[in-house]
Homo-oligomer: A and B are copies of this chain.
Amino acid sequence: MRKRIYQILSISQKPGDLSWWVDMFLIVLISLNVAAIVMESVEPIRLKYSAGFKAFETFSVILFTIEYVLRLWAANEDARYSKPILGNLRFALTPLAIIDLLAILPFYLPMIGIDLMFLRIMRLFRLFRLFKIARYIKALNIMNQVVKEKRAELLVAIILTFFMLLLTSTLMYYVEHEAQPDRFSSIPETMWWGIATLTTVGYGDIYPITALGKLLGGAIAILGIGLFALPTGILASGFSEHLGSDKASPTTCPHCGKAFVEK
């Protein structure tokens, strides 16, 4: 019985069977929840269909709760969490399980009495429903792997990026502060300019106006952008290594001449 539940809840391999339909149903339900969060943010829609949103919210949370409880209960079927109580607890601490819990928590907190201010923040937790989909999207696993593999490179790139940002922003602050005390009011404030510039977003809400500031800003832009493009480049190459499977064409060994496929 529990084994059956476990199989049904785990991602199905062959389309058409019950487990597959359950997956589909959950994917649709999660998507609808995300859509609801987005739609609800549009005032006219929220006001008009508030009842509908509330009903759908209750409906989804109940189903998600059942899903969560079943997953928790059936976890013992998994070799890693086979121990009766300890296993379930260990499963409850896995990222996906925590996401499932956080996705429903905001609904139950009011009952156990929480002040409203805190609740407003808790509503953000409904966003975790977006992450529930992660279990089903392969693309996210790929990204996950890429980040893992490129950990070292990304760390170096981010350190350099931050170092560059700190240095340029501090310099710019000293150069522009007097001319624009309201915009370049402090180094953290100037960092906002630094990010907007080095990422080439350039909103235009803040930019140097003094000759020296423009000279420095120009130099920073030309030299610094290369640094900020590093994480992008690293990610991109990581993905292409994963996705560009055609790259795995057979290589022939110069020693024995036999062909084999690069991993």
Contacts and interface: CB of A to CB of B under 8 A. Distances in A.
Interface in A225-243: 225-237, 239-240, 243
Interface in A194-215: 195-197, 199-205, 207, 211, 214
Contacts of A123: 174
A15 interface: no
A13 interface: no
Contact of A231 (B38, B205, B211, B226): B226
A257 B89 CA distance: 46
Dominant secondary structure of chain A at its interface with chain B: helix
A16 interface: no
Given A130-B166, A222-B161, A254-B254, A153 B201 contact: no
Interface residues of A, number: 87
Given A249-B263, A263-B249, A243 B139 contact: no
Contacts of A41: 170, 173, 177, 186-188
Most B CB contacts (10 A, CB to CB) among A34, A201, A207, A262 go to A201
B222 A199 contact: yes
A55 interface: no
Given A124-B171, A196-B201, A225-B232, 12 more contacts: A37-B170, A130-B163, A153-B243, A199-B225, A202-B203, A222-B231, A225-B231, A229-B232, A234-B239, A234-B240, A253-B258, A255-B260
